[in-house]
Every structure is written in C-alpha cells, then in structure tokens.
Amino acid sequence: MKFKIILLITLFAFASCKDEKKEVSKENNNISLQNEDYFTFSINAVIENDDEFTLFYLDVENEQIAKEKSISLQVSGSLSPQDLVFKLKEDVLPTRLILRFGNSEKTQKIDFNESRLNYYGKEIVISKENFFQFFIPNNFINFDREAHTAVGREVDNNYDPTFFSREILENKINYTFF
C-alpha cells in the first residue's frame, strides 16, 4: 500500500514539473512572437542599381532625424522585383517615415510595386498606384505617377533623394495601429 502511495505521489510530481516546463516554453514563444510584431515597413520594387536604402523614423519622443532611429539596407541592383524589409529593433510606433537612397554613381531608378506596414498583426497595404498619395519625394527625385517610378537626380551638385511620409499616411498609421 505504501508503495502505491509513493508511486502515485511521484507520478503526480513528475506531471506537475512537465506542465511547468510547458508554461515556460509558452512564455518564451510569446517573447519571440512579440519581437516579430515590431513595426515593419516592406517595399517590393525593381531597383536597377546597387544602393543603400535608409529608413529614418520619428516617434513621439524623437522628432529629429537621428542615425540611432534608422535602419539601413544594402541592395543589389536587379531587373527583377525584390523585397526591402525594414524591421524596427525596438517596440516603437513611428509617427513619421523618411526613406533615403542614393548611390555613389548618383543614378537610381526604382519601379515601385507594393509596400506594406505591419505592427502587431495589423497591416496597411500601399499599392503602387497609391505610393505617391502616401509618400512625397523631395526635389532630388523625378517621380512618374503613371509608371510608379522614381529616378534620383543631382541638383546643383547635390544628390540626396528622399521620400517623406505624408500626413495622410501618418494619420492612417495612428488610426490603424493605435
């Protein structure tokens, strides 16, 4: 009889430990899922020349462009569409986006397809037809609204092609993700 009671207590103790391990494992999975849910901005486009793309983002606490609040990607030129994925390393919801590109040859042509903004399972999709509605190019970019292409250009020996999010996108980010 004692043997059966000891065996029953031992089995119960092992079962409890097994459930505890499952809880820890679930917590670890939630942590990695949360990191996956950080703000992501992706662009599908044809980028003809090698280049570096930098996404600067402003938030409620930081209203000045800073290198610390940026993500840079090296892109190999190709005539095939490719995805540029800018993933924030911290849990911040940007209030403004600034996309800068520019190679040393001072030549770049980008054919935009689709862009997506993701944050905690919610998504904003920007079709190529609506890219200009959400992003305004500076004077270093010739943007063809019918072909959905951007061509970087030099102005007065300066070259700094940059897109800025428009207020309509900033409002959509607030409405969709808050």
pLDDT band per the 50, 70, 90 thresholds, residue 36: low
The pLDDT tens digits of the residues spanning 104-120 come to 888 899 999 999 999 99
Give 96's Cβ-side CA count (13 Å radius).
14
Confirm if 105 and 40 have CB atoms less than 8 A apart.
no
φ and ψ of 160, to 5 deg: -150, 65
Structure tokens at 69: 């609040």
Q: What is the mean pLDDT of residues 5-22?
A: 45
Counting residues of the chain whose pLDDT is more than 70, the rounded percentage is 80
Query: Would the pLDDT of 151 be above 80?
Result: yes
Q: What is the mean pLDDT of residues 51-78?
A: 93
In whole angstroms, give the CA distance from residue 144 to residue 66: 29
What tens digit of pLDDT does each residue of 91-150 get? 999 999 999 999 888 889 999 999 999 999 999 999 999 999 999 999 999 999 999 999
* Percent of the residues in the chain that have a pLDDT greater than 90, as a whole number: 70
